[in-house]
């Protein structure tokens, strides 16, 4: 068997693709290790401005944990006393990631696969892809991804998906503001490139520090958030990118970002 995860660098964008189409790109420990390696490599490369997470083929983005009888990975073999499960490690890494993470939903994203979508910053999906959590159908509940479902979806939508186990289409998800864009399959990559083009020409340090601030503010009280925001704004104004941005605006030219 080959590597379960492929990476491809195209200009300023690194694409990480789960490459198990025969398993509907299901998650196991090797898949998580591959995604983590890709995330680390992108963050270590100053030339990378965004990361795309997708699946191979046109059937599934990711069908969640590998449940087949002869599957490897055992995603549900958990030690309740050990918080270091590999899926939790991946979700934590994605939650604190410094670069923009964009999900390219090339097919169905179900269970843990939908969790990966919700853990990304932006989502471009083919409109006929199914999104949902089917765990209740096998006597479970989507425990590991609940924090991300609650951030990305309205509460009653979370409850309906979790209690019925019935998916929705990406088109419906776009109408509910769960994904950013849902387009016909033939237009998926063009829409993705359009969105990435609007990201990679912006300040790397502004995005990096802004994502850090968003993650912190989300968990704070109003008073704490305002105090932290004031501190972060003052620090951001001292960066080389901010000085360049102000200068470029004054001189009516395109800024030359250094990411510093």
Is the residue at 258 inside a domain? no
Computed over every residue of the chain, the mean pLDDT equals: 92
pLDDT for residue 80: 57
Does the pLDDT value for residue 191 go beyond 70? yes
Residues 170 and 240 in one domain: no
Residues 74 and 178 in one domain: yes
Residues 161 and 247 in one domain: no
What's the mean pLDDT in 211-229? 93
Q: In terms of pLDDT, which residue wins out, 249 or 1?
A: 249
Both structure tokens of 179: 């994904």
Among 197, 226, 243, the domain-final residue is: 197
Q: How confident is the model at residue 75 (pLDDT cuts 50, 70, 90)?
A: low
- Burial class, 199, CB count within 10 angstroms (exposed 0-12 / middle 13-18 / buried 19+): middle
Is the residue at 257 inside a domain? no
pLDDT for residue 193: 98
Q: Which domain holds residue 228?
A: 204-251
Does the pLDDT value for residue 88 go beyond 60? yes
What is the per-residue pLDDT across 18-66, written as a single tens digit (0 to 9) for each? 999 999 999 999 999 999 999 999 999 999 999 999 999 999 999 998 7
Residues 66 and 155 in one domain: yes
Report how far residue 247's alpha carbon sits from residue 222's, in angstroms, rounded to the nearest whole number.
33
Is the residue at 126 inside a domain? yes
Is the residue at 260 inside a domain? no
Residues 47 and 125 in one domain: yes
Residues 25 and 118 in one domain: yes
Does the pLDDT value for residue 14 go beyond 80? yes
What pTM does this model have?
0.92
Counted domains in the chain: 2
Q: Are 120 and 102 in contact (CB under 8 A)?
A: yes
Report how far residue 85's alpha carbon sits from residue 97's, in angstroms, rounded to the nearest whole number.
18
Is the residue at 234 inside a domain? yes
Question: Which one of the listed residues 135, 172, 219, 244 is annotated catalytic?
Answer: 135
Does the pLDDT value for residue 87 go beyond 60? yes
pLDDT for residue 54: 98
Residues 23 and 42 in one domain: yes
Residue partners of 120: CB distance under 8 A and separation at least 6: 53, 94, 101, 102, 103
Does the pLDDT value for residue 82 go beyond 90? no
What is the per-residue pLDDT across 163-181, written as a single tens digit (0 to 9) for each? 999 999 999 999 999 999 9
Does the pLDDT value for residue 7 go beyond 80? yes
Does the pLDDT value for residue 145 go beyond 70? yes
Is 43 in the active site?
no
What's the mean pLDDT in 101-112? 97
pLDDT for residue 65: 86
What's the mean pLDDT in 91-108? 96
- Burial class, 202, CB count within 10 angstroms (exposed 0-12 / middle 13-18 / buried 19+): middle
CATH code of 152's domain: 3.90.226.10
Residues 153 and 81 in one domain: yes
pLDDT for residue 73: 46
Is the residue at 259 inside a domain? no
Does the pLDDT value for residue 240 go beyond 60? yes
pLDDT for residue 79: 59
């Amino acid at each position: 068997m080959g590597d379960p995860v492929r990476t491809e660098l195209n200009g300023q964008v690194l694409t990480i693709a789960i490459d198990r189409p025969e398993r509907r790109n299901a998650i196991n420990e090797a898949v998580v290790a591959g995604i983590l390696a890709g995330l680390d490599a992108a963050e270590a490369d100053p030339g990378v401005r965004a990361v795309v997470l997708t699946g191979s083929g046109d059937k599934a983005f990711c069908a969640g944990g590998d449940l087949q009888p002869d599957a490897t990975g055992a995603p549900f073999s958990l030690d309740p006393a050990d918080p270091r499960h590999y899926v939790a490690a991946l979700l934590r890494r994605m939650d604190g990631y410094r670069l923009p993470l964009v999900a390219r939903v090339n097919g169905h994203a179900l269970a843990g696969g939908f969790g990966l979508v919700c853990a990304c910053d932006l989502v471009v999906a083919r409109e006929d892809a199914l999104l949902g959590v089917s765990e209740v159908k096998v006597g479970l509940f989507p425990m590991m991804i609940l924090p991300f479902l609650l951030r990305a979806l309205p509460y009653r939508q979370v409850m309906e998906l979790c209690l019925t186990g019935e998916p929705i289409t990406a088109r419906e998800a776009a109408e509910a503001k769960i994904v950013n864009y849902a387009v016909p399959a033939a237009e998926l990559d063009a829409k993705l490139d359009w969105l990435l083009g609007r990201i990679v020409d912006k300040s790397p340090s502004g995005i990096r520090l802004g994502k850090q601030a968003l993650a912190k503010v989300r968990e704070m009280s109003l008073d704490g958030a305002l105090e932290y925001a004031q501190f972060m704004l003052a620090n951001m104004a001292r960066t080389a990118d901010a000085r360049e941005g102000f200068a470029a605006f004054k001189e009516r030219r395109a800024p030359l970002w250094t990411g510093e």
